[in-house]
Structure 1
Amino acid sequence: MNLELWRLSATELAQAIRSRRVSAREAVRSVLGRIDAVNPRINALAAVSHEAALAAADAADAVLARGEPVGPLHGVPVSIKINIDVAGEPTTDGVRALQHNVAAEDSPLVSSLRRAGAILIGRNNAPAFSLRWFTDNAFHGRTLNPFDAGVTPGGSSGGAAAAVACGMGPIAHGNDYGGSIRYPAWACGVVGLRTTVGRVPSYKASAPNRIVTNQLMSVQGPLTRTVADARLALAVMSAGSPLDPQWVPAPLEAADSAQPVRVALFTGWKASRVDRSVVQACEQAARWLQEAGYAVEEAEPPHFEEVSAMQFHLVMNDMRRAGVAFMRENGDDALRTALDHYLAVTPEWNRDECLDALTRRFNIARDWAVFLERYPVLLMPNSWERALPVDDDQRSAERVREILLAQSPLLGTAVLGLPGLSVPTGMADGLPAGVQLVAGRFREDRLLRAAEAIETKAGFNVTNALVKAGAT
């Protein structure tokens, strides 16, 4: 094949390797070459496993040569975020104090990727403790948005999004506690799938005691350049594990998934800063969905403002009880400043107030379930503002309050444990544009179908967009 292999999707690359039109070694060498060319500037990957990846590729080729059965990602390079466990590697979480925190075993999704034949090429960068929408830390350095170094690549999975956008592997792992997959995907022009809580098993032996809000809201998922690759990655990552008692063996595809459904279009937020480009992207996506047979109506999900605020209030009060002291001691200066601002704008709740919020959360979840029965897909922005300027959360507590309002479409869905998908729609004034789709629990299939309809109409290719912009 004459095409540079790093440009291929995971689906295309896996098929080419299975058919032996290319070798796994050729595929991995191409991606490693792309990493060597681009990563020194973008800094999306905090570590690159050159020798181990090539050895794994040779082993993958040997399996094919013996005619043995292979998995759906056989020979495909993938990268893993620095905040989950890969056996034999440090789980640094972007923190220098954790540089010797070497994992004894793989997290479940890493094991699943290996069983599927994927080849681990490196670790995606993230902010310290994955607690900012800006991917920068004092240990591994700053990840740049490949389109504009002056704006964030998103966080906390900004390394994953930038890596995929630049061709440093077709699939990157991320996780999403309050938008950490969807926001970077949107900022970098790639596909990002936040899965339902319980869809992909979450566990790391190096830090097994997950706080309550993390259990309720945080998920693992893929960032990719195409919707087909997100579907493929989801099928692999969602393999079960008893290490996560919340995992549910829910089907990946329901009988009605191919049918166009009613879509709720929500762009009527009254925040002080609503960028017209994010509304235009939603309006365009709505027209494309209508052309694909979907019925689109304007509708606001229930208790939107309340549930969005609840996410951060619950998380920060949970962290006040367990986590803040450790993060202050071991985090970097940017993390400490952001944390100070987070806490300054978050009311301090007592035990009963926290329990009252959890009780209220369940009732709101019921109202959303009813809403999503009427509108099986919700279409809205990822953020009400354009991608934020670098380190915007360092300015003041008041600015952080505004940022939290801007990120409300990410926060409200996270607190309810729902799946969400960010899909690009094109470019707007030099930056990627895109939308977020949300569905009921374990209905990722509906998100993927709707995203495919948008992707087909948009015809957006992030690699071509970067070349056109002169970014890579």
Structure 2
Amino acid sequence: MDLWQYDATDLARLIRTGQASAREAVDSVLARLHKVNPAINAVVRVLEDDARAQAETADAARARGHALPPLHGVPVTTKINVDQAGLPTDNGVVPLKDFIAKEDSPVVANLKHAGAVIVGRTNAPAFSMRIFTDNALHGRTLNPRDPSVTPGGSSGGAGAAIATGIGPIAHGNDIGGSVRIPAYCNGVVGLRTGFARIPSFNPSAAMTGRPIGAVMMAVQGPHTRTVRDARLALEAMARGDRRDWRWNDVPMQGPPPARPIKVAIVPEVPGGHNHPAQVTAVRQAGKHLQAAGYVVDEVLPPDIERGVELWHQICVTDVFGGLWPTMQKMGDPDGIASMQGWLELHKSVDLPTYVAALTEREGLLFRWMSFMQQWPLIILPTLSDLPPKQVADITKDGQEQVLNAMRPALLAPLLGLPGLAVPVGSHGKLRTGVQIMSMRNREDLCLDAGEVIEAAEGVVMPIDPAK
């Protein structure tokens, strides 16, 4: 088996034990990148020379008998919207193409500290504000399973890279589904971490501050092909940075919940359309867990429809007062059209309504935490529909359908909770899939359940792009 086909856990072991070198691993992944990336445009900046130099340094460290970090020599990718020293944080925006970061964001620094070798930067929509990965600077990323549908967004390049074997770990971030939706669309694993689990800010913009919605909801997380790699990547990414006042120094493994663990499944999400294939996927995930000893109930968590409305009220108001004027000046036409449709469908609110929405969110979070005392795990579809066709969001009607499908993806960010997307079943060329949610700082429960589902469904293997 070629080295690019291994997951990060096995590849790190091969490098650590001398059965493969970091240089061989990097060369293998770069060869795979050059073979498949032209068909999908997932990686938009290839760091070939730097990656090979990093690999040589890694091999020299091993030869000298140094203690090796957990991702020593493992090739990974980072997303174009996080600072990486010496490279542009362009976020898919033409006027930012020469905006060079002077230092690494914490998540990039943590990957490097863990020994990972960064081989490239993955694509995102302009300002990372769509579930379609397309921008005027880098062009469109295609879904390797079906190029007619979105690879998801905003971390669509990351999801497509992992699906095709361009490294075993791809960094992404998530404020409304941007890790979990690409994982679903590309048929891979994606972990949206909970609030404050991974330190998260760009040094290039830290002093200006962020809207409160982004402070509460935006997190970092990995795309992988195996659940064990998601666990490994989480541990690497979560190393602390005290400049982020939100960062939590808490154990990766929480206290065991009462046994048997109860799971609430939500096959049909209130408030809109539910595709039968996604309904089936949720029920199938429940069957996999039930067979492993979990107790599975089909029961609704509190006030799902209202939670979706609160996400829109908070985020639309943030965007309308901040990013929207910048997008109109600097964004690409499709990004502007997409955001215009969103702002027409969900209006910005006045200050008293905004403050009331934040207060109501707090009450909803208490109700969810009470619910999760009885059902520590909740399983919903990632999207309630199949992946939409490319550029479906540039009309108001199309955007309405897209936002309707996104309903279940908005709950975890609204409440600051972790969510693990895993493939379950298939529909034509595509994988169907679910997201597993739990309480804050309980990514471990999501990952444990994800491994049970993965054992029943089979481990994701890299694919060649569809013609």
Q: Same fold (TM over 0.5)?
A: yes
Asked whether the 8 Å contact 1:426–1:433 carries over to 2, the reply is yes
1:223 aligned partner: 223
1:417 aligned partner: 416
AA aligned to 2:202 is K
Provide the secondary structure at the position in 2 that maps to 1:132.
Answer: coil
More deviation, 107-116/69-78: 107-116
Asked whether the 8 Å contact 1:189–1:462 carries over to 2, the reply is no
Question: Are 1:185 and 2:180 matched, yes or no?
Answer: no
Asked whether the 8 Å contact 2:254–2:441 carries over to 1, the reply is no
Deviation at 1:260, TM superposition (A): 4.9
1:214 aligned partner: 214
Equivalent of 1:44 in 42, 45, 60: 42
1:199 aligned partner: 197
Deviation at 1:267, TM superposition (A): 1.5
Provide the secondary structure at the position in 1 that maps to 2:44.
Answer: strand
AA aligned to 1:427 is S
Question: Are 1:295 and 2:290 matched, yes or no?
Answer: no
Query: What are the Cα deviations for residues 317-347 of structure 1, in whole angstroms up to 9, with x where unaligned?
Result: 0111222111110010011101110110112
Deviation at 1:124, TM superposition (A): 0.8
Matches within 5 A, 1:304-323: 304-323=304-323
Asked whether the 8 Å contact 1:424–1:460 carries over to 2, the reply is no
Matches within 5 A, 1:73-112: 73-112=71-110
Q: Distance in 2 between matches of 1:26 and 1:88?
A: 25
Provide the secondary structure at the position in 2 that maps to 1:67.
Answer: coil
Provide the secondary structure at the position in 2 that maps to 1:61.
Answer: helix
More deviation, 66-75/260-269: 260-269
Query: What are the Cα deviations for residues 194-225 of structure 1, in whole angstroms up to 9, with x where unaligned?
Result: 00110000011112222211001000010000
Asked whether the 8 Å contact 1:314–1:354 carries over to 2, the reply is yes
Matches within 5 A, 1:372-451: 372-395=372-395, 397-451=396-450
Query: What are the Cα deviations for residues 236-266 of structure 1, in whole angstroms up to 9, with x where unaligned?
Result: 1011101210001111012317965100011
AA aligned to 1:228 is R
User: Could you tell me the TM-score, scaled by structure 1's length?
Assistant: 0.97
**Number of matched residues?**
465
Provide the identity percentage. Answer: 44
Deviation at 1:348, TM superposition (A): 2.6
* Unmatched 5+ stretches in structure 2: none
Deviation at 1:123, TM superposition (A): 0.4
Query: What are the Cα deviations for residues 354-385 of structure 1, in whole angstroms up to 9, with x where unaligned?
Result: 00000100000000001111100001100111
Q: Distance in 2 between matches of 1:204 and 1:54?
A: 26
* Unmatched 5+ stretches in structure 1: none
Q: Distance in 2 between matches of 1:309 and 1:125?
A: 29
Asked whether the 8 Å contact 2:316–2:347 carries over to 1, the reply is no
1:114 aligned partner: 112
Provide the secondary structure at the position in 2 that maps to 1:457.
Answer: helix
Provide the secondary structure at the position in 2 that maps to 1:149.
Answer: coil
Deviation at 1:160, TM superposition (A): 0.3
Query: What are the Cα deviations for residues 17-74 of structure 1, in whole angstroms up to 9, with x where unaligned?
Result: 0000000000000000000001111100110101000010000000000001010000
Q: Distance in 1 between matches of 2:384 and 2:134?
A: 23
Q: Distance in 2 between matches of 1:412 and 1:355?
A: 19
Equivalent of 1:162 in 148, 160, 185: 160
Aligned Cα root-mean-square deviation (Å): 1.3
Asked whether the 8 Å contact 1:257–1:449 carries over to 2, the reply is no
1:364 aligned partner: 364
Deviation at 1:399, TM superposition (A): 2.9
Asked whether the 8 Å contact 1:426–1:460 carries over to 2, the reply is no
Equivalent of 1:16 in 14, 17, 22: 14
2:273 aligned partner: 273
Runs of 4+ in 1 over 6 A off after TM superposition: none
